[in-house]
Amino acid sequence: MSRRCESLFNPSIKAAIIAMPTISIAAFFADQGSVEFDRIMHQSEYQEAKILEEYRNWNKLSLSDKCFTVLNDNKYPIIVSAWAASLYGSWVFVNRDKIMDTAQKAVQAR
């Protein structure tokens, strides 16, 4: 019994384990986008005028103001993404060590 769970699942099950969450998340966000689009397209004239005014104001902004606005609106996703990327990068760096076991590598990577 030297082989440790090597063939626990056949390849089709492994593919389904990867594909199903991806497809489910994509379908959820596609539906959310559709609902948001319908909400924007079928609203009152006041809301349409308000959105049109926001669009005009957005077009008046300079490129640097647009960049600062987008960065400010998405600061938490940017911070979390940078944190996750740094964790991944440190894991890749530490994972090259063949002497440490997985638990030691996880402690070093964080």
pLDDT in tens, 72-96: 999 999 999 999 999 899 888 888 8
Residues 53 and 90 in one domain: no
The predicted pLDDT at position 6 comes to 62
Express as a percent the part of the chain with pLDDT over 90: 41
Range of the domain at 106: 70-110
In angstroms, the CA 74 to CA 77 distance is 6
Residues 106 and 77 in one domain: yes
Domain count, the chain: 2
5, part of any domain: no
More confident residue, 15 or 43: 15
3-state DSSP helix/strand/coil % of the chain, to nearest 5: 80, 0, 20
32, part of any domain: yes
Express as a percent the part of the chain with pLDDT over 70: 94
Q: State the pLDDT confidence band at 4, using cuts at 50, 70 and 90.
A: low
Residues 85 and 103 in one domain: yes
